[in-house]
Amino acid sequence: MAKTKIFSCTACGAKHNKWSGRCDGCGEWNSIVEDTPLSAGPAKKTLGGKRGTSIPLSDLSTTEAPPPRTHSGMSELDRVLGGGLVASSAILVGGDPGIGKSTLLLQAAAKFANAGLKTFYISGEEAPAQVRMRARRLGLEKAPVQLAAETNLRDILTTLDNERPDLVIIDSIQTMWADNIESAPGSVSQVRSAAHELTSFAKRKGMSVILVGHVTKDGQIAGPRVVEHMVDTVLYFEGERGHQFRILRAVKNRFGPADEIGVFEMTGAGLAEVTNPSALFLSERGQPSPGSVVFSGIEGTRPVLVELQALVAPSPHSQPRRTVVGWDSGRLAMILAVLEARCGIPFTGLDVYLNVAGGMKISEPAADLAVAAALLSAREDAPLPADTVVFGEISLSGALRPVSQTENRLKEAQKLGFTAAITPKGGKAGAKSGLKLTQLGDLTAFTGDIFGAG
Ligand code: TYD
Ligand code: MG
């Protein structure tokens, strides 16, 4: 039988029966590569006819205790995990190369080992001497972590079966190699198969596994998204290279809230926890300046204050630039359109730059009003009143909509010394805070009252 070719997307893992330049699944370009089918044999017979065994069913109610959790003692990490590491869980930690995944996980390994878990750290990228050197630099050389440098999956599984650790860290899944799969390490089928073998083995034997996955851009190496569906928890480690802040974000968690973040600072001695991120994100703020607005956001279960910065300048291009760092560019286009159509404030012929300070990424629509305020303030060259926070969602009609957790947002602002807030009308619990509130019904009121524009 002729071997049928199959193609997979290295970004999302979608299968295609022919090569194309762009994946229909995720829209990524140049990410489709030829792949080895997992089962190359003839199609299996259908299940019909032959009886299997009956599976046991149970009620939804349970008297079982919730799964045991181990706290690392790094509160930022424990919170992102949903309150500590759940026994027999599979976790994926993705992030750009060099962002600090190995550093974070070596620190976590040491903490979990000190908390009593038998912990293995298996590196497919660095020699044991290199890992040891890093451990010494981080002051962790005394921690009872067992180290190995290996990429052969069969040998790793055999070792795990003999040694039975409680936690094994695999750095990284892209370097692991299963000898029963023909394709090269890092290919979609190798990464998928290695992740499947490791996670199912860990579940069967009652150990937790943490997989490191590099986010890749070149398309030949499969990215962490390929294994997201196989694990219980998906964490991404983000940050800008030039900044020392790092954010560990839960994008999926079967054992806790998603969208929770942990904030770290990369120092000479490894990652330090940042327990008050608002203070950190605002620490570089100077005098109130045009285009700068403080947004009171919610990340997971926690309020976080961040500074939004906008720059609006006459454009030398026929098509003016719209550049966004840390926020959604589609959402920026929408706000510019609403400002133009509903408030009569055009941005034609103007370049617009929007930046979220500190390397933070925001996805909440609650930031709409703060973005609009930053844009207007930059365009009018007029700073917003000092010590004011802004939040609220903008609808296409230009109306302002109240957002969730108004009270928490205001409380955090007050805690950090802010004295006033601009919010949508109708938000709950506004009156209780000690802040001077300006509550507005729509964006026109905002542009008129605050800037006298429009
Ligand atoms: P690393 O953990 O190796 O990144 P990843 O595993 O995600 O590829 O981190 C690499 C960077 O972190 C490297 O550029 C050096 C920096 N770093 C520090 O700034 N301080 C430290 O204590 C350590 C260990 C690394
Ligand atoms: Mg690494």
Is the CB of residue 102 below 6 angstroms from any atom belonging to ligand 1?
Answer: yes
Q: Whose CA is nearest to atom 16 of ligand 1?
A: 100
Q: What is the pLDDT of residue 452?
A: 59
Global pTM exceeds 0.75: yes
Nearest ligand 1 atom to the CA of 171 is 6
Average pLDDT over every residue of 189-202: 93
* C-alpha to C-alpha distance for 189 and 38, rounded to whole angstroms: 7
Token pair in block for residue 256: 């806790």
Cβ(223) – ligand 1 distance below 6 Å: no
Is 244 a pocket residue for ligand 1 (Cβ < 6 Å)? no
How many angstroms does the Cα of residue 99 sit away from the middle of ligand 1? 6
Structural contact between residues 329 and 396, judged by C-beta atoms closer than 8 angstroms? no
Shortest-distance ligand to the CA of residue 175 = 2
Contact 388, 416 (CB under 8 A): no
Could you tell me if the CB of 137 is within 6 A of ligand 1? yes
Taking the C-alpha atoms of residue 248 and residue 94, their distance in angstroms, rounded to an integer, is 9
Distance (Å) from CA 226 to ligand 2 centroid: 19
Atom of ligand 1 nearest to the CA of 138: 22
Mean pLDDT of 37-52: 62
Q: Report which ligand 1 atom has the smallest distance to the Cα of 172.
A: 6
Q: DSSP labels for 34-87?
A: EE--S--SPPPPPSTTS--PPPP---S---SPPPPEE--S-HHHHHHTTSSEET
Report the Cα–Cα distance between both ends of the chain, in Å, rounded. 72
> Ligand 1: which of 266, 267, 271, 273 to mutate, judged by most atoms within 8 Å of the beta carbon?
266
**CA separation, residue 81 to residues 6, 146, 211, 257, 265 (Å):** 36, 23, 14, 9, 18
Q: Cβ distance 32 to 23 under 8 Å? A: yes
Strand order in the sheet with 245-253: 145-149, 119-123, 167-171, 208-214, 90-95, 233-238, 245-253, 261-267, 270-273
Instruction: Judge whether 433 and 411 are in contact, CB under 8 Å.
Output: yes
Tell me, in angstroms, the distance from the centre of ligand 2 to residue 101's CA: 6
| pLDDT for the residue numbered 292 | 93
Give me the mean pLDDT over the 362-382 stretch.
Answer: 94
Measured from the alpha carbon of residue 266, the closest ligand is 1
C-beta neighbour count of 383 within 10 angstroms: 16
Q: Which atom of ligand 1 is nearest to the CA of 97?
A: 8
**Rounded percentage of the chain residues whose pLDDT exceeds 70:** 93
Top pLDDT among 203 and 448 is at: 203
**How many angstroms does the Cα of residue 100 sit away from the middle of ligand 2?**
7
How many CB atoms within 10 Å of residue 192?
22
CA of 131 to the centre of ligand 2 (A): 10
Mean of pLDDT values over 141-165: 94
List the residue whose alpha carbon is closest to atom 14 of ligand 1: 98
**Cβ–ligand 1 contact at 213 (below 6 Å):** no
Residues 284 and 307: their CA atoms lie apart, in Å, by 9
Q: pLDDT-derived band of residue 39, with 50, 70 and 90 as boundaries?
A: low
**Structure-token match 């939004």, residue found:** 308
- For 232-299, list the strands marked E by DSSP: 233-238, 245-253, 261-267, 270-273, 292-299
270 CA: nearest ligand 1 atom: 22
Contact 144, 97 (CB under 8 A): no
Mean pLDDT, the chain, as a whole number? 88
CA distance 123 to 183: 21
Provide the pLDDT for residue 386: 79
Predicted confidence (pLDDT) per residue in 123-133, tens digit: 999 999 999 99
Distance, CA of 154 to CA of 160 (rounded, Å): 10
Convert the pLDDT of each residue in 233-269 to its tens digit: 999 998 877 778 899 999 999 998 888 889 999 998 8
Residue nearest to atom 12 of ligand 1 (CA): 100
451 DSSP 8-state letter: I
Kindly give the number of the ligand 1 atom that is closest to the alpha carbon of 103: 2
Residue nearest to atom 13 of ligand 1 (CA): 98
Ranges 4-8, 25-29, 148-152, 446-450, most confident: 148-152
pLDDT for res 454: 43
